[in-house]
Amino acid sequence: MRFLMIGMGGTIASVRGSEGYESALSAEEILKISGIKTDHEIEFLDLMNIDSTLIQPSDWVKLAEEVYKRAGDFDGILITHGTDTLAYTASMLSFMVRGVNLPIVLTGSMVPLMEKNSDAPFNLLTALKFLESRIPGIFVAFNGKVMLGVRTSKVRTMSLDAFESINYPIIAKLIGDRLSVLYRPKLDPGKTKLDTRHEPKVLVLKLIPGLSGDIILKAIEVGYRGIILEGYGAGGIPYRNSNLLQVISEISSEVPVVMTTQAVYDGVDLMRYKVGRMALRAGIIPAGDMTKEATVTKLMWILGHTRKVEEIRELMRKNMVGELTRVS
């Protein structure tokens, strides 16, 4: 089999410098130092070599264009990436490159490859084993688990088990050197399409007691095109001693306001409580059970295609690449 390995940087590529760890290793060096032996033909491409905190939407476009251009020449693509924004990249790549007919797997590490007890070799092995499965789609491999990219979130800052599959089954697990496929995603592989249009001017606000709607008005004033609110639990907007609900009611016909949750699992259900139903009447668009990363990248992608709120509402409520099970 023939694989492409794309290096993006991150902890897996980092070495200790005078100001802490910094990305330096090439994709080829990463695989060589990991000690993993493979009979597969692997081509290497260093697209960038940066800490993933520095990733910007323009980098997603660059990656998506490269994946689309090269996908037909390989049986699988492995992307090494820093962990901090890996889930965002996996999600946006899922929207920008659709209908893929080969496995594309992102991975990284919590401990630099050059350090003792690095998790990089295990994560790389997991990714490579999954590429052999030929299951098409965009995935994340980490700590022996393979997860659908658009359903993956980073939930731990130090643990080697940093990522979880949110509201969706784990696709596969590596046990020893044997990969066990647990679930095959119900995706629609076909003719691969590239569509990188997006609008990065999306603001995420965490709902806290005392949050004023004035910040939303200011965000719109300075050019933000979409607002995402991380609500409490199942979701809702405070209306007692707050102008937040009133402001949303006033602007929601012109600017999309999406509600996700600060909780990790289960998503929002705006029909459950009065505060949620009032939010719906104010024009809030529920994110359902999407991850925070998928909610952000999907709204950015949709805003690149339309500014009409009713069209945005319809598309946000539609399962496009496996990111959404339910909306309520």
Say which residues have a Cβ less than 8 Å from residue 139's Cβ, sequence separation at least 6: 90, 103, 104, 105, 106, 130, 146, 147, 148, 149, 171
Of the candidates 260, 252, 262, the one whose C-alpha atom is nearest the C-alpha of residue 217 is 252
What's the CA gap between 184 and 136, in Å, rounded? 9
| Helix-, strand-, coil-residue percentages of the chain, each rounded to 5 | 30, 25, 45
What's the CA gap between 40 and 83, in Å, rounded? 26
Tell me if residue 233 falls in helix, strand or coil: coil
Distance separating the N- and C-terminal Cα atoms of the chain: 44
The count of other CB atoms within 10 Å of the CB of residue 152 is 29
Place of tokens 């940093």: 162
Whether residue 149 contacts residue 64, with contact meaning beta carbons closer than 8 Å, is answered with no
The count of other CB atoms within 10 Å of the CB of residue 192 is 16
Note if 126 is an active site residue.
no
DSSP code string of 166-221: -SS---EEEETTEEEE---------S-EE-------EEEEE--TT--THHHHHHHH
What's the CA gap between 243 and 207, in Å, rounded? 13
Q: Which two tokens stand for residue 115?
A: 């350090």
Choose, from 11, 80, 83, 261, the residue flagged as catalytic: 83
Place of tokens 């490159």: 97
> Which residues are catalytically annotated?
83
